[in-house]
Structure 1
Amino acid sequence: MWKGRFSEETAEIVLNYTQSLDLDWCLAPFDIQGSIAHGRMLVSAGLLSPDEGEKIEGGLRQVLQEIEEKSFTPSIELEDVHMNIEHRLTQLLGPLGAKLHTGRSRNDQIATTLRLYLRDRLQKVQQGMFTLLEAILERAHAHRHIVVPGYTHLQQAQPVSMGHYWMSHFQAFRRDCIRLRAALGSLEDCPLGAGALAGSTLPLDRFYTAKELGFKNPTENSLDSVAHRDYLFDYHYFAAVFAIHCSRLAEDFIIYNSQEFGWLKLPDAFCTGSSMMPQKKNPDVLELTRGRTGQIIGHFVDLLVMLKGLPMTYNRDLQEDKRGLLASLAVILSIIEILPEFLSRVEVDEKRAVLGMENGMILATDVAEYLVKEGVPFRDAHWKAGQLVRYCLDNGRSLLDLTLSEWKAIIPEAKEDLLSILSLKESVARRQTYGGTGFICVERQIEEGDGWLAYQKKRDNACSSS
């Protein structure tokens, strides 16, 4: 394609080093989709006759069929997916095939192809996110009346509804859905027609191709069109944050399922055993999810570093933007495929959860807040409740078993009604501040989550049908 300028053939070692077929051959259907739209635009602009346009489109569809049937083997001598498709088209149509590249550079071609590919994949990710949120909502509803320990610093802090815990992850993944939608939104402009960097002297109709390919508008600046990869940043940011949220959930479940905690029950079908120790039940799915998060973050950093010093406009470095993208997408799609089914089968051992809170220390804040209602300043109430905890620890007593006289010896303000509130379920039920763990609040959260998800799915379906 550039031999007119050079006096030597490209060295084979250079071909092997610069080829990108190992990265971009998966983009072939989307490259052909962009080429069909470009060909139709050339007909519309009078740069191809209708007959030429029809033959080119037919030829492209034949190439696509050959690719799908795996009867077309690409050659690294042609470097990439774009030139392999164009070469095959020219083999089929003769000189007419060479007309397809009129008014187009590989720079705007790949920018368009990559957007089409990423849009398709992110729509699949979005459907997977909806399934994940559905699974979490179902678990939240099933476990809404179960009380488990809530932790700060991985130390028991206050009792919470397990439904409330599930909804905390729902909120994190909901924000991820919003970030994902933003990543999809950054794919709404079409770079096709920007050329190598400066547009074209030919009468190209960029609005035509944008509409044909389902974009809202053509990009505004041809230099920026071929140079930027912000839409990849937006994807990688979503992916990194989503993976971190998945990793945090995985870490929680690994801990809560351990023998030392033991109140979370993981499904056997999603765990593995040991080749040596018969008693083992290993949470491999969770560990791999946690482990692969580093890859997702690494791909994001790789792209950031790659672009940090690139001059305007296109540079061959950008060929490598697909390496991390494809690897990241593969991991994200695998997580989204397995996580919903896994989570839908997680259960809670309520008796074991309560057993872990049997000393009642987790209700110390309730005692302090009781005293506040009796007119004791909070800092004094905090100190008195702390003295009570110290007494229990020193004497091997449970806060739940103390007599009223023992209470009054340390906290004179204590009355008989204090004993009636020292219940795990009562503690949870009373926390009715908006967004709190109270059972009524959790019901509201689940109801609101159901409504939000139903709206998002309806919105997505409306966009897809249009």
Structure 2
Amino acid sequence: MAVTGRIDGTPSDVWHEEVLAPQFAYEAEHLLPHYVAIERALLREYLRMGLVDPAGAAALDARLGTLDVDAMRADPQRNMSDISFALEHHVQSGPTPPFAAWHVDRSRNDAQVCAQLMSARTQFAAVAADLMGLGRAVTALAVRHTDTPMPGYTHGQAAQIITPGYHLAALAAETNAALRRMLHTYDETDACPLGSGAMAGQELPWDRARLAADLGFARPQSHALVGVASRTWTTAMAADLAGYAAVLSRFTTDFMTWGGSGFGFLDLPDDLAGISAAMPQKRNFPVLERIRGRCAHVAGRAADLVAGQRNTPYSNTVEVSKEAGAHLYTQVRTMRSLLRLTHAVVTGITYRTDRMRSACAEDHLGGFTLANRLTLDCGIPWRTAQIVAGRYIKRAVERGLEADTPDPGLLRACADESGYEAEPAAKLLAESFDVDRGLRAKRSAGSAHPDRARELLAGEVRELDRLDVEWSHRTALRAAADRGLDTSVTARRPA
């Protein structure tokens, strides 16, 4: 079957093998159901416009129902190794030829981008579902550790007393923020490009709002050129995933650090651990390295999508739609993989509370509290109080004194050097450097105080529930559209 009168010959072997056949295989595997859905939506429009009678529509619809991956083959002779031409050939080679107007006033351009966007929305929603599962695992682990003291670090140095629950509440907040951004992106890109034609629109009175609704979109894309030329939806989706991957890599770095032998704050089960082939004493956590490495791949694919569009003309091009666009699927697949791994890590983590408490007691993490108390209780000006507290800690370390063995006389001497008194010194030191008091010293909203951390987590759980409802609503709309397109075309004849 000839598909054009413009050129003679068929795709060369190298063109077929290196480009067309791999592209065809990808689209047959991932986009074919969407192409069929698009064809059925168009068929309803042909029926509405009177270009086919119900019997002809039903016959063509039945032939579309026989389309599957096994029926589609890249063939340079029959279909120029193009999936749209292969679909046409499959329908036209059926027992009942399609009606004469089938595919009149049609372009591959808007159909291709529509199938790509439909697939991308489904994949994007699947990532959101994975994120919600991770968010629930994170909050479940966090609520068990809101009273478990551990050192918090700034600039690589122990800084203040926090808890794993407080740390994980931050991951929960970042996860919900990512889900909110993704929901916004989903809604912003929920515009159907079908009916845009090649670039300038179409000539028949297509009901684009009906086409959009049939395919589960909220609305049609209002500008035909935007419909076929823009791939902003790919970079927007990719940016959301890359942003969260960057955040997740930072939390993974914390897990790697705290799980190392230098800290020993957390452990993973044997089924997530690895060994050394040479050093039998070692028990490694390569799963964390894999997660962080895959976070880099997610960010890299986002850069590929942007670079693939840069300096291209604003029209439909395979450079943008297929070369650059293919990276979105790869990015999503990598993202879903690392989220599964992270979920396994979060549900498998065990915090070593004894090691964390001991680390808190060894260091003078109450220095900030001591300076506050010197000002509020003793009337020492704040900057001077900082000097007194710092002087005391420096000399205590030089003398080998840990935080849980305070020296009231040393504090009095340090304050005296600045012309002030630090009384009652023993009480000041006890309240400043006691581990549990230190954790509860922070009282402001959003702080590490166990009560405040529980409030944070309760809020994140409520927000996650809300986001779950929102995402479920979008998924249900798409599912309803899919069910409608699975029915006979003539069963839903337009009014």
Residue equivalent to 2:446: 435
Look up the SS of the partner of 1:96 in the other structure.
Answer: coil
Q: Which residue of 1 aligns with 2:292?
A: 290
CA drift of 1:251 comes to 1.1
Instruction: Give the aligned CA root-mean-square deviation in angstroms.
Output: 1.8
Spell out the pairing of 1:418-433 with structure 2 (5 A cutoff). Answer: 418-421=428-431, 422-433=433-444
Q: Partner of 1:418: helix, strand, or coil?
A: helix
Alpha-carbon distance in 2 for matches of 1:88, 1:231:
31
In structure 1, the gaps of 5 or more residues are: none
Q: Is this contact kept in 2: 1:271–1:284, CA < 8 A? A: yes
Q: Specify the alignment match of 1:90 in structure 2.
A: 92
Q: Which deviations, in whole Å up to 9, do the C-alpha atoms of 1:381-428 show, x marking residues without a partner?
A: 111111011101221112331232222111332414313312111111
Map of 1:417 onto structure 2: 427
- How much does 1:451 deviate? 1.1
| Secondary structure, counterpart of 1:197 in structure 2 | coil
Do structure 1's residue 114 and structure 2's residue 111 form an aligned pair? no
Specify which of 172, 190, 203 is matched with residue 188 of structure 1: 190
1:97, 1:11 → 2: CA distance?
33
Letter paired with 1:301: A
The letter of the residue matching 2:412 is: K
Please say if residues 16 and 76 of structure 1, whose CA atoms lie closer than 8 Å, have aligned partners that are also in contact.
no
Deviations 1:347-392 (A, max 9, x none): 1111111222333311111111111213222211111111011101
Which letter maps to 2:36?
I
AA of the residue aligned to 2:367:
A
Residue by residue over 1:78-118, the C-alpha shift from the partner in whole angstroms, topping out at 9 and shown as x without a partner, is: 33333322222222256417854232211101111011111
Deviation at 1:438, TM superposition (A): 0.6
Offset of residue 330 of structure 1: 0.8
Report the Cα offset of residue 2 of structure 1.
5.0
1:193-250 per-residue CA deviation (whole Å, 9 max, x = no partner) reads 1111111112211111111011111111111110000110111001101111221121
Q: CA deviation at 1:178?
A: 1.3
For 1:304 and 1:343, locate their aligned partners in 2 and report how far apart those are by CA, in whole Å.
Answer: 32
Report the TM-score when normalising by structure 2: 0.89
Equivalent residues in 2 for 1:329-408, closer than 5 Å: 329-374=332-377, 375-408=379-412
Q: Secondary structure at the match of 2:197?
A: coil
Match of 2:160 in 1: 158
2:485 aligned residue:
none
Question: In the alignment, what sits opposite 2:482?
Answer: none
Q: Residue 74 of structure 2 corresponds to which residue in structure 1?
A: 75
Q: Which residue of 1 aligns with 2:58?
A: 54
Q: Aligned equivalents of 1:110 and 1:460: distance in 2?
A: 25
Q: Which runs of 5+ in 2 are unaligned?
A: 416-420, 478-495
SS in 1 for 2:136: helix
Does the 8 Å CA contact 1:37/1:209 hold for their aligned counterparts?
Answer: yes
Conserved? CA contact 1:23–1:323, under 8 Å: no
Contact 2:370 2:429 (C-alpha < 8 Å) held by counterparts: no
2:27 match = 24
- Report the Cα distance in structure 1 between the residues aligned to 2:49 and 2:9, rounded to whole angstroms: 37
Aligned residue pairs, count? 461
SS at match of 1:448: helix
Residues 267-346 of structure 1 aligned to structure 2 (within 5 Å) = 267-318=269-320, 319-346=322-349
Q: Quick one: structure 1 residues 101 and 281, their matched pair in 2 at CA, closer, same or farther if it must change by over 3 Å?
A: farther
The residue identity in structure 1 corresponding to 2:195 is G
What is residue 487 of structure 2 aligned with on the other side?
Answer: none
Letter in 1 for 2:48: S
Residue 55 (structure 1) shift: 1.6
Equivalent AA in structure 2 for residue 107 of structure 1: N
Q: Render the CA deviation track for 1:148-196: whole Å, top value 9, x for unaligned.
A: 1100011100010221011011111111111211221133110101111
Determine if contact 1:367/1:385 at 8 Å carries over to the other structure: yes
1:38–1:258 distance in 2 versus 1, CA, 3 Å? same
AA matched with 1:16:
E
- Amino acid of the residue matched to residue 336 of structure 2? L
The aligned counterpart of 2:243 is 241
For residues 197 and 137 of structure 1, what CA distance do their matches in structure 2 show? 48
Q: Percent identity?
A: 23
Q: Partner residue of 1:63?
A: 67
Counterpart-to-counterpart distance in 1, 2:101 and 2:95: 10
